[in-house]
Chain A
Amino acid sequence: MSAVELVCAVCPASCTMRVVVRGGVVEVTGNRCPRGVEYARQEIEAPTRYVISVVRVVGGDLPTVSVKTRRPVPKDCIWLVMEKLKDVVLTAPVNIGDVVLRDVCGTDVVATRRVARAAT
């Protein structure tokens, strides 16, 4: 059982919270509203993040396309997603929502920008 200090990122109040896990139960002090407890529980038990990056595009009007995981993935998966994206090269055109990588960390990586074919 160890205490962790967390700054709540839900609202500008930015409460500094002390979080203790006791017998599998997350106990929060220092929060000034219930949203702090929810935030702390999420951050302690199963923190998730969107992974965002860019990958190369050939033959496009831009040399890269931005991508994201369709859903937030467990924080521990960030580097796995980045590693898998390293060698991805797409060919224009690319549309928003096109699947760039399928089924990684329980979701897909999708394109978030349009890249048209370069004018020839």
Chain B
Amino acid sequence: MRRAEYDVVVVGGGPAGIAAAIRAGDLGLRTLLVENRERLGGIPLQCVHTGFGLHYFKEDLTGGEFIARLIDRLESKGVEYWVRTHVLSLSVEADGWKRLDMVTRQGVVVARARAVVYATGARERTLFEIGVHGGRPDGVYTAGEAQTLMDIYGVLPGKRVVIIGSGDVGLIMARRFALEKAEVKAVVEVMPYPGGLMRNVVQCLRDFNIPLLLSHVVLRVEGRKRVEKVVVARVDENLRPVPGSEFEIPCDTVVVSAGLRPNIDLLERAGVEVDPATGGPAVNELLETSIPGVFAAGNSLVVNDLVDYAVEQGELAAEGARAYVESGGRPTGRRVRVVKGRNVRLVVPQYLSGERDALFYARVSYPEQDVVLQVPEAGLRIPQLGVRPPEMLRFRLRAEKLKGVLGEGGKVTVEVVKR
């Protein structure tokens, strides 16, 4: 069995992991990046649409273009990476080092690292998690599966399509189906507002006259061998189906775009504190989890709507890893608790050390106009013309503003209030 030692091992070779590995290498850390698929890149490899890199590269790139540039940067810096490497377990040894047991093409390898950056992405929610009933006919795909089939393998999954959920991947796939001359019968969204970015509602649905059924739910998928139809109903303000409002939509394909959940299996087994709101680990402003020296970034930390945020988190986690390594293994601190206030569904980070500036990512619970995003304890107020759950709020909080809350039981509240 091979053994190897690093300052930091980055788990996951998508945007966040690659960015973390680049930054860790730049910071002089002995770095290894591991990816379980056969190539680096993660989800952007299958994203043929634009909208990538507007912040990071200041250009509107497709997923493939964006990730190729990031991989080129990694390779030009000579950071070590292994593909087809599956991490079986993550544990903390008696001396505080992290141990990763990995299956590689060369057999089992045990790596020891002072710090770990966990960037394993998210998984798609399935039909069974959103309460859709019915049989198990052929023709039901998640949006990501449909995307892989169409845009990697060149296979059209079906010709008459109903999309459940109006998240961005679902909207983008609605356009891809329409462009390839499939008929998108409807996008069915249970909430009274779309789940994706407004740009995607306009450019993916309205451009192609695809109906968006807001406040509607798919009750059942029906079909003997192949999907034949879905049964749809209107929902009331409590999201309950209205009796008598049912109708059928004939179709041969159902695409589920019902959101993502962070992939945190290894972290959970290692006993990390999980935030039920994000589904990811609870972290401080350097993205350190409750396990000292283990950092999280990208969609395994919190489901992001822009790849640029995932990259930014990867870089931040690498900075965290350096702080941890340079201090000889001192946790980077979580003295202040971050509390969710009015109209805030989730916020990252969940803790602050109070020692450095913090970058926040938050999502609201429902759309509102003319509001103020504020952290009253720190005297921070940021007016917003409008807020929507699909569009993350991102803001910075200066360390000096936290002086008043560093005592016992210190907390800050992130809230959205009417102007």
Contacts and interface: CB of A to CB of B under 8 A. Distances in A.
A21 interface: no
Interface string B386-419: 1110010000000000000000000000000000
B105 to A, nearest CB: 15
Given A66-B151, A75-B207, A11 B48 contact: no
A49 B203 contact: yes
Contacts, number: 87
Nearest to B67: A113
A114 B68 contact: yes
5 contacts: A9-B203, A52-B49, A68-B48, A112-B62, A113-B65
B242 interface: no
Main secondary structure of the interface of B (DSSP, over half): mixed
Interface residues of A, number: 30
A75 B202 CA distance: 12
Given A9-B198, A13-B386, A53-B176, 17 more contacts: A9-B199, A9-B201, A12-B385, A14-B198, A14-B386, A14-B388, A32-B385, A52-B48, A54-B154, A64-B153, A66-B48, A66-B62, A66-B151, A78-B179, A96-B65, A112-B48, A113-B68
Contacts of A62: 152
Interface of A: 7-9, 11-15, 32-33, 49-54, 56, 62-64, 66-68, 75, 78, 82, 96, 112-114
Interface string B195-206: 001110111000
B388 A12 contact: yes
A95 to B, nearest CB: 9
B201 A54 contact: no
B266 to A, nearest CB: 29
Contacts of B61: 112
A47 to B, nearest CB: 8
B369 A68 contact: no
A74 to B, nearest CB: 12
Q: Considering the complex of A and B, which 5 residue pairs feature the smallest CB-CB distances, nearest first?
A: A13-B386, A113-B64, A13-B385, A66-B48, A12-B391
B209 interface: no
Given A32-B385, A64-B152, A53 B179 contact: yes
A64 B154 contact: yes
